[in-house]
A and B are shown apart, each in its own frame.
Chain A
Amino acid sequence: MSQLKSERYPVTDEMREAFVVDIDFHFEPAMEKLLPYVDHPGAKRTLSLEDFPPTTRYWASGYATPHGGNGRQTHGVAETADDVIDVSEKLAIDLTVLTPGYNTLPDVQNVILKNEIVRAYNRYVLEDVSPAADNIKVLPALPQWDPERCVEEIELWGDNDDVVGFYGFFGHYSLLGNPQYDKVFDALVKHDLPLALHGGGTGNWPQKDLIGNSIRTWTEMYGLVHPVRAMMMVGNMIMTGVFDKYPELQIVMIEGGLNWVPFIKMRMDEVYQDHPEDIQLTERVTELGQEYLKKQPSEYIEDHFSFSSQPIDIPKKPKNFEAMLDMTNASESLMFATDYPHYTLELSNWAFESNVIDDELRENILHKNAERVFRI
């Protein structure tokens, strides 16, 4: 249930007057809300007795604060349509795109349980929540561990008017350049829907890996692991020819950060131009019969990727912020997000407080880019 006090969220008149689309509002109902939609008897029993299934707990933001906690319900929890409406109003959000809150779901070992959670969540949110208001849209969950099941969910919900795309992870899975995901891209393109990818897993790097075992702080774990994984996902999809095979496909990267985008554009172009021949050894490019990619890596980033604003790390010097917005192609690729209800929450105030963001850019960031890519 939402319990927000408006005093905690200083919203100005200009924030309220602007039309704001939030592309990362986590909707995380407790398992009891999903039970009516769970079909599998064993899963129903287990979820009613044991709540959310166990995951390997690698890390928590609370290690880095005097207050503990995992930072995932710092601003409450939205479990019903009324919660979404109430919180959106208090945070000055005009159109809310619900993202599944179960970001640790990838770590659940039991495939039947996690499949049932995805199925039940999608039914609950699309049958009981989004119909309550025209300004609630949904990124249903994809069971990314099973491409066939992904296709089932896309076919089931892809034509629903409240569905604006599907939600997966750039977490610790196979990267999506793996050809097994082509059937998922086929289904998304067929329904003219983008794929949103969010940090997945418990904000971790696998502990048994030499890097993971060396990490000690939340600054490394959250601050760097999400962006590193996001970079790897973007690079892998480009270099395996996903966008040559699916020129209509759009990807929205959520909570992976932004400031690295210019870096990988330049780095990938440079290395690819030096050493392009192994592109012919990737399955998809071989299948397409191409000698090289059709474009430079940076061009695919500009043409196929958008990025959530949260977490926005604004450079102190305005001229650097201006350059960053320019180099990330923010006028076309940046989409406002709050990340409600996590401790990393951001409101739209930053978009009004910098004189390097003019009215047109602000409108693109706050709603137009999202409306275009999500076909809202």
Chain B
Amino acid sequence: MTEHTVASAEDIPEGEGKMVEVDGLSVAIFNVEGEFYGVSNRCIHKGGPLGEGFLHSELPVINKDRKSIHCPWHFWEFDLETGRHEVNPSTGIRAFDVSERDGDVIVTI
């Protein structure tokens, strides 16, 4: 397991996200009420970018109550901790181990 410092925590305000490259993977990092989460930035459905907002919003579409993220293309919803599709848990995307330490956001792979 290797730790990768991918951002400074203050670069990702609450409710926002940031795309980072980790080990050649495109990872979308989100700040949900002070907790950081990371999932593959590529939607399993048809390749939509999970870290992007809908057309008129820069912000990713996070469901704070469920701790989930909506893909901006066809709205598939993925649990941010497990990566599982909220409606069909047999499918999903990769979820990463993300933590914050001393103001850094760290992805462990």
Contact = CB atoms under 8 A, between A and B. Distances in A.
Q: A and B bound? A: yes
A350 B73 CA distance: 14
26 contacts: A3-B55, A3-B56, A4-B55, A7-B49, A7-B52, A8-B48, A8-B49, A8-B52, A8-B72, A9-B49, A10-B42, A10-B48, A65-B75, A66-B63, A66-B70, A67-B70, A67-B75, A73-B55, A74-B55, A76-B55, A343-B73, A343-B75, A346-B46, A349-B46, A349-B47, A350-B47
Interface of B: 19, 42, 46-49, 52, 54-56, 61, 63, 70, 72-75
A216 interface: no
Given A10-B47, A10-B49, A344 B74 contact: yes
Contacts of A10: 42, 47-49
B73 A345 contact: yes
Contacts of B46: 346-347, 349-350
B42 to A, nearest CB: 7
B49 A67 contact: no
A208 interface: no
B74 A75 contact: no
A67 B61 contact: yes
B4 to A, nearest CB: 22
- Tell me if A's interface is mostly helix, strand, loop or mixed: loop
Given A8-B49, A75-B55, 5 more contacts: A5-B52, A7-B52, A10-B48, A67-B75, A346-B46
Contacts of A343: 73-75
Interface in A41-60: none
Contact of A67 (B42, B47, B48, B54): B54
Nearest to A74: B55
A42 to B, nearest CB: 35
A345 B74 CA distance: 8
| Chain B contact residues: helix, strand, loop or mixed | loop
Given A10-B42, A343-B73, A344-B74, A74 B47 contact: no
Contacts of B55: 3-4, 8, 73-76
A343 B72 CA distance: 9
Contacts of A66: 63, 70
Contacts of A7: 19, 49, 52
A274 B40 CA distance: 54
A288 to B, nearest CB: 45
Nearest to B77: A66
Contacts of A3: 55-56
B50 to A, nearest CB: 11
A292 to B, nearest CB: 44
A74 B72 CA distance: 9
Nearest to A345: B73
Interface string A1-23: 00111011110000000000000
A65 B74 CA distance: 10
Nearest to A69: B54
B52 to A, nearest CB: 5
B54 A74 contact: yes
Interface string A340-358: 0001111101100000000
A349 B46 CA distance: 8
A18 to B, nearest CB: 15
B9 to A, nearest CB: 23
Contacts of A350: 46-47
Contacts of A345: 73
A329 B75 CA distance: 31
Nearest to B61: A67
- 10 smallest CB-CB distances across A and B, nearest first, come from A8-B52, A349-B47, A65-B75, A10-B49, A8-B49, A76-B55, A346-B46, A7-B52, A10-B47, A75-B55
Interface string A89-132: 00000000000000000000000000000000000000000000
Nearest to B57: A67
A66 B62 CA distance: 11
Nearest to B72: A8
A343 B71 CA distance: 11
Nearest to A11: B47
A73 B55 CA distance: 9
A343 B70 CA distance: 13
Nearest to A5: B52
Contacts of B61: 67
Nearest to A66: B63
A309 B73 CA distance: 17
B78 to A, nearest CB: 14
